[in-house]
């Protein structure tokens, strides 16, 4: 086993925790681990049928960081002792998060070629932990979408079926982890952009409590909803990564002041005995694919058998959550995206004719630089904030937000953790919903309430849907600041499911390299 | 520049009743900016005091400067305002390149301070109460410089340069309620109000309060209504009137202009006006309606400001003596008469005299210099006395030279001219202009001998005990030395020479 795991093919399939152990034991070097992932990226990410999870690969810097870790470890002594547990374990970063030394595009033409002069706080923390950054991952432009098809740099493909979407907006991070192009990735979740891609790619994704992870350096879509979180293949890996990136940051006023709980310990000491797990009546059943419902019920059964008490809770105001979200999010986005005007950085487009005034340059830049979905949301948000409409739209949406928060409070009075399917369906086909924004928005119906209330959510693989053999996600929700509960319950459910499957769900995924090779053959 | 017709002020006052309103922006002198850790420093190279937050780079977040909040609360307290227990920032949205995020973070419907008043003393001692609507916090914009045009304005310019050093500098905007009942004293009240605000923020130590640097900027709203009518007329807002004299003149001009418009039967246009110091007129800026839609909404990147009552009381306890009480104290300390003190206050040199005394001058010397020398020069130059740039240390140095007999008063005045002309330090100017009092006894004795010889009858009288006759001899010596002799020393030497004791 150990022999096989130190081959390149074996290394990329290891969890971050296993890699960390092997690195500490000296069974493998950080350079070998990093190179194995870079090789995998080279093998499966590019080309017409490539996954296209990465917008930028940061090979040179990643290898240099890995080499530093190896040198420190080889030298031994205090510095080696002080190395972070995850030192040398590589990671991919969603291209919405700014990084020095690599481009940051937000998936948009308007930032093509832009290099940030500063690192996001989470990136600083990755660097402090000496985790090599493999590159920047694809996303829907400015994180606006549920399929990664709204990226200005082409869609990402789902490693389970290259003709299907990997979810969004963080499809790149989820696909990279699912395709073994990275053991870990960072995502951002405004309405489900970490959890829904996790669900449809068979990976784990966590949206921490709002304020648990600093947003400094995450290009804002909707400030009051955005949260950075881990994208991994195991619950423990998510806890490990959350522990690296989380905790107070004086540069983010909305960052929580208190220290993080021991999330890793929570993931390692999972237990559901006597725990009340609440099924949210409004978040399953009608509108949910049969195969999704089946896997959801199966998870409930496993938890029950493990000693959890399953209760039903009702959150009647969740029916308004999607509507409120599509007023608050575009309102904040319309304001947050105003800075992209061609004056100080990024794309600048001059009007083809007529006077060269600042207004016309800004207009031409934004017309050329933003894609349709971004424009749609800017227009929606601008309208919702306009004098005379503010109360009816933004104001009402804020009231709904309060009602959703109250629903959560009532539900958490009856249950310690809530549970639902993460997304109503498995991965749909590329292009299937591109021309139907409302159908696209419905993908996030189960994930949005957590963002509106600021509570944490975790999605983990719940098995494959009977009808299409594609991954189904199970979502766990906990009260604000109780992220540890998600890891405690998630780890138990994960181990119960894996025992049932006889290994990780991703072991059942098709052999990507072989599939691509076959397709290439057929194409000839 | 302006082609507006105006009525005489007297005629305008006969027909109409002015209503005023002021928005005074005070730049706080915090070490760092309102929402970023970049330095808040005036006058540095463009775009050096900026970081990623000030430039509105992707991904940045604001963090409120706690000192700025404290300063704002202090201003609110000094203006007798209520302090909000809980208030938020909002985003005021408009696209303009001096605003890096294309929105200004500002307080909108939840100001930190509200419902206050300020008692303003006019020149004759009349006290006029100005009601304060609110004082709210916001950030300053960058500075645009329009290049290539003749006027320095955006119209006709080829391109514009932007300096973001000022972007994000903390501001407190103080807004009055409509000020009614000032009548013909409206221009005087305008000046006195802004002077009082400036004095308060300076006294609090929360702003450098230099109007010439834009630390205190005034937008003056003026409207007229016929006497006896309650409803306000349509107002104009003259932006950035940045000296006390200009505030007075701008209000006066707008009253005269409005009166002429109303007399012609035309409606006054609601608009912003630009003030022109050179012609002392205003010109039309942009049309402004109350329907300007800034799409305000609460700033989601900031948490609400919570000002606990304990904190507010702690800050109240640190407030310095209010200016009115300070004036009472200074008057007693300095021993000026009522008239002398009022003249000092009206001339706007109270701070300057205090600084000069602090630098080592006596109260009477400080007053003599500021009132006797500098105020007149400021009037001639048509600027506020403080704007001439006379340093307290200069006055102390000059007065010491006079006391030491190195120069006389007349020369000292010439030296001051030299200092103002940038010729150097007083010492250097005395040297360069050859102004030193002739105190070489040898040279003086020669001149004395000559003067005594020229007027032997006078010399005889002095010898005979008529010492008061000495003036003629002293005058002769001074004439011979072209005023450069120390008259006191000359007198001594004459008496010595004639063997007379005074």
Contact between B224 and B233 (Cβ < 8 Å)? yes
In this structure, how many other beta carbons lie within 10 angstroms of the beta carbon of residue A522? 7
**What is the number of alpha carbons within 13 Å of residue B17 lying toward its C-beta?**
13
Instruction: Give the pLDDT band (50/70/90) at residue B444.
Output: confident
Residue labelled with tokens 């020069």: B377
The first and second tokens of residue A316, run together, are: 């009647």
Task: Using CB atoms, pick whichever of A111, A217, A362 lies closest to residue B95.
Answer: A362
Q: What are phi and psi of B274, to 5 degrees?
A: -100, 135
Domains and CATH numbers, chain B: 9-314 (no CATH), 321-433 (no CATH), 441-498 (1.10.10.410)
From chain A, pick out residues whose CB is under 8 angstroms from the CB of B296: 385
Q: What is the pLDDT of residue B336?
A: 94
- Mean pLDDT (whole number) for B125-129: 91
Q: How far is the C-alpha of B409 from the C-alpha of A312, rounded, in Å?
A: 96
The first and second tokens of residue A138, run together, are: 């694809």
Read off the pLDDT of residues A169-224 as tens digits, 9 standing for 90 and up.
999 999 999 999 999 999 999 999 999 999 999 999 999 999 999 999 999 999 99
Where is pLDDT greater, at A8 or A291? A291
- Mean pLDDT (whole number) for A143-164: 97
B293 at interface of A, judged by CB pairs closer than 8 A: yes
Residue labelled with tokens 């496993």: A302
From chain A, pick out residues whose CB is under 8 angstroms from the CB of B69: none
Contact between A493 and A417 (Cβ < 8 Å)? no
Enumerate residues 42 to 81 of chain B having a beta carbon within 8 A of any beta carbon in chain A: 52, 55-64
- Mean pLDDT (whole number) for B129-154: 90
Q: What is the pLDDT of residue B288?
A: 63
Q: Would the CA dihedral through B145, B148, B152, B156 be positive or negative?
A: negative
Read off the pLDDT of residues B198-220 as tens digits, 9 standing for 90 and up.
999 999 999 999 998 899 999 99
The first and second tokens of residue A485, run together, are: 């509960």
Question: Exposed/middle/buried for B363, CB within 10 Å: 0-12, 13-18, 19+?
Answer: middle
pLDDT at A83 over 80: yes
Could A332 and B93 be called an inter-chain contact, meaning their C-beta atoms sit closer than 8 Å? no
Q: What is the pLDDT of residue B285?
A: 86
The first and second tokens of residue A518, run together, are: 């076959």
DSSP helix/strand/coil, A202: coil
Q: What is the pLDDT of residue B228?
A: 93
DSSP helix/strand/coil, A117: coil
Q: What are phi and psi of B232, to 5 degrees?
A: -70, 150
In this structure, how many other beta carbons lie within 10 angstroms of the beta carbon of residue B286? 10
DSSP secondary structure code for residue A282 in this structure: G
B297 at interface of A, judged by CB pairs closer than 8 A: yes
pLDDT at B436 over 80: no
DSSP helix/strand/coil, A487: helix
- Distance in Å, alpha carbon of B29 to nearest chain A alpha carbon: 22
Inter-CA distances, B376 with A462, B139, B244, B342, B369, Å: 88, 38, 17, 16, 10
B290 at interface of A, judged by CB pairs closer than 8 A: no
DSSP helix/strand/coil, B446: helix
Domains and CATH numbers, chain A: 2-315+418-523 (3.90.1300.10), 318-401 (no CATH)
Residue labelled with tokens 């409590």: A209
Q: What is the pLDDT of residue A328?
A: 98
What is the predicted ipTM? 0.95
Inter-CA distances, A156 with A96, A138, A464, Å: 15, 7, 21
Q: What is the pLDDT of residue B493?
A: 83
pLDDT at B183 over 80: yes
DSSP helix/strand/coil, B174: strand
**CA A327 and chain centroid, separation:** 22
Q: What is the pLDDT of residue B290?
A: 56
- Distance in Å, alpha carbon of B293 to nearest chain A alpha carbon: 6
pLDDT at A2 over 50: no
Instruction: List beta partners, residue B448.
Output: none
From chain A, pick out residues whose CB is under 8 angstroms from the CB of B162: 343
Could A344 and B100 be called an inter-chain contact, meaning their C-beta atoms sit closer than 8 Å? yes
Contact between A421 and A283 (Cβ < 8 Å)? yes
């Amino acid at each position: 086993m150990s022999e096989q795991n130190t081959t390149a093919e074996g290394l990329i399939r290891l969890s971050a925790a296993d890699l960390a152990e092997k690195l500490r034991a000296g069974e493998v070097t950080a350079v070998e681990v990093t190179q194995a992932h870079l090789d995998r990226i080279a093998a499966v990410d590019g080309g017409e049928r490539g996954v296209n999870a990465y917008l930028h690969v940061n090979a040179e810097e990643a290898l240099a960081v890995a080499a530093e870790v190896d040198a420190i470890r080889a030298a031994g002594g205090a510095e080696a002792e002080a190395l972070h547990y995850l030192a040398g374990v590589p990671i991919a970063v969603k291209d919405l998060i700014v990084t020095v030394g690599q481009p940051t595009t937000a998936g948009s033409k308007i930032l093509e070629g832009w290099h940030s002069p500063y690192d996001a706080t989470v990136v600083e923390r990755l660097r402090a932990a000496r985790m090599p950054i493999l590159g920047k991952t694809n996303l829907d432009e400015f994180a606006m979408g549920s399929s990664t098809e709204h990226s200005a740099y082409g869609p990402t493909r789902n490693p389970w079926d290259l003709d299907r979407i990997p979810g969004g907006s963080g499809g790149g991070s989820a696909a990279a982890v699912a395709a073994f192009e990275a053991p870990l990735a960072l995502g951002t979740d405004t309405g489900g952009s970490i959890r829904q891609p996790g669900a449809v790619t068979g990976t784990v994704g966590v949206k921490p409590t709002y304020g648990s992870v600093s947003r400094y350096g995450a290009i804002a879509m909707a400030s009051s909803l955005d949260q950075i979180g881990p994208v991994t293949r195991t619950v423990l890996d998510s806890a490990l990564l959350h522990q690296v990136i989380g905790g107070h940051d004086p540069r983010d006023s909305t960052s929580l002041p208190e220290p993080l709980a021991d999330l890793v310990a929570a993931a390692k000491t999972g237990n559901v005995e006597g725990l009340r797990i609440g099924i949210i009546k409004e978040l399953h059943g009608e509108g949910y694919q049969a195969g999704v419902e089946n896997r959801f019920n199966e998870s409930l059964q496993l938890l029950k058998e493990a000693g959890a008490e399953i209760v039903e809770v009702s959150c009647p105001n969740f029916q308004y959550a999607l509507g409120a979200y599509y007023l608050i999010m575009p309102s904040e986005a319309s304001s947050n995206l105003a800075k992209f005007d061609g004056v100080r950085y990024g794309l600048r487009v001059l009007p083809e004719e007529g006077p060269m005034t600042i207004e016309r340059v800004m207009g031409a830049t934004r017309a050329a630089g933003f894609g349709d979905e971004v424009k749609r949301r800017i227009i929606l948000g601008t309208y919702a904030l306009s004098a005379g409409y503010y109360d009816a739209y933004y104001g009402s949406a804020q009231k709904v937000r309060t009602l959703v928060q109250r629903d959560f409070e009532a539900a958490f009075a009856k249950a310690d953790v809530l549970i639902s399917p993460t997304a109503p369906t498995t991965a749909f086909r590329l292009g299937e919903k591109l021309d139907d924004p409302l159908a696209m928005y419905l993908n996030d119906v189960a994930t949005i309430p957590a963002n509106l209330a600021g509570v944490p959510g975790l999605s983990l693989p719940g098995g494959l849907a009977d009808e299409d053999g594609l991954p189904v996600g199970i979502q766990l929700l906990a009260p604000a600041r109780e992220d540890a509960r998600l890891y405690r319950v998630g780890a138990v459910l994960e181990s119960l499911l894996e025992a049932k499957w006889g290994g990780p769900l991703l072991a059942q995924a098709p052999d990507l390299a072989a599939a691509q090779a076959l397709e290439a053959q057929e194409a000839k | 520049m302006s082609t507006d017709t105006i009525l005489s002020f007297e005629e305008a006052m006969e027909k109409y009743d002015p209503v005023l309103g002021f928005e005074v922006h005070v730049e706080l002198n915090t070490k760092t900016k309102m929402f970023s850790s970049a330095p808040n420093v005036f006058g540095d190279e463009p775009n050096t005091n900026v970081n990623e937050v000030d430039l509105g780079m992707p991904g940045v977040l604001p963090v409120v400067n706690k000192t700025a909040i404290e300063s704002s609360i202090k201003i609110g307290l000094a203006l007798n305002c209520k302090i909000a227990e809980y208030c938020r920032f909002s985003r005021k949205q408009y696209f303009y390149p001096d605003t890096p995020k294309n929105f200004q973070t500002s307080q909108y419907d939840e100001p930190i301070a509200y419902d206050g008043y300020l008692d303003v003393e006019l020149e004759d001692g009349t006290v006029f109460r100005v009601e304060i609507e609110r004082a709210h916090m916001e950030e300053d914009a960058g500075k645009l410089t329009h290049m290539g045009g003749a006027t320095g304005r955006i119209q006709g310019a080829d391109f514009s340069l932007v300096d973001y050093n000022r972007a994000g500098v903390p501001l407190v905007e103080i807004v009055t309620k409509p000020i009614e009942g000032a009548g013909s004293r409206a221009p005087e009240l305008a000046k006195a109000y802004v002077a009082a605000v400036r004095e308060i923020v300076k006294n609090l130590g929360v702003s450098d309060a230099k109007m010439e640097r834009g630390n205190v900027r005034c937008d003056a709203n003026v409207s007229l209504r016929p006497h006896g009518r309650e409803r306000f007329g349509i107002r104009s807002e003259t932006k950035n009137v940045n000296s006390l004299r200009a505030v007075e003149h701008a209000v006066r001009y707008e009253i005269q202009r409005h009166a002429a418009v109303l007399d012609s039967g035309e409606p006054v246009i609601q608009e912003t006006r630009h003030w022109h110091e050179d012609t002392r007129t205003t010109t039309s800026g942009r049309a402004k309606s109350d329907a300007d839609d800034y799409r305000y909404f609460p700033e989601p990147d900031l948490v609400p400001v919570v000002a606990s009552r304990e904190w507010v009381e702690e800050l109240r306890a640190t407030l310095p003596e209010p200016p009115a009480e300070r004036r009472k104290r200074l008057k007693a300390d300095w021993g000026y008469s009522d008239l002398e003190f009022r003249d000092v206050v009206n001339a706007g040199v109270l701070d300057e005299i205090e600084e000069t005394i602090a630098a080592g001058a006596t109260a009477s010397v400080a007053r003599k210099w500021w009132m006797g020398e500098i105020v007149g020069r400021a009037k001639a130059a048509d600027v506020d006395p403080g704007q001439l740039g006379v340093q307290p240390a200069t006055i102390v140095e000059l007065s010491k030279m006079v006391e030491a007999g190195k120069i006389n008063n007349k020369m000292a005045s010439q030296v001051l001219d030299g200092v103002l002309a940038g010729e150097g330090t007083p010492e250097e100017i005395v040297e360069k202009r050859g102004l030193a009092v002739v105190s070489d006894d040898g040279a003086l004795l020669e001149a004395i001998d000559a003067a005594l010889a020229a007027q032997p009858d006078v010399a005889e009288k002095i010898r005979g005990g008529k010492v008061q006759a000495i003036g003629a001899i002293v005058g002769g010596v001074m004439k011979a030395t072209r005023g450069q002799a120390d008259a006191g020393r000359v007198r001594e030497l004459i008496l010595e020479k004639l063997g007379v004791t005074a």
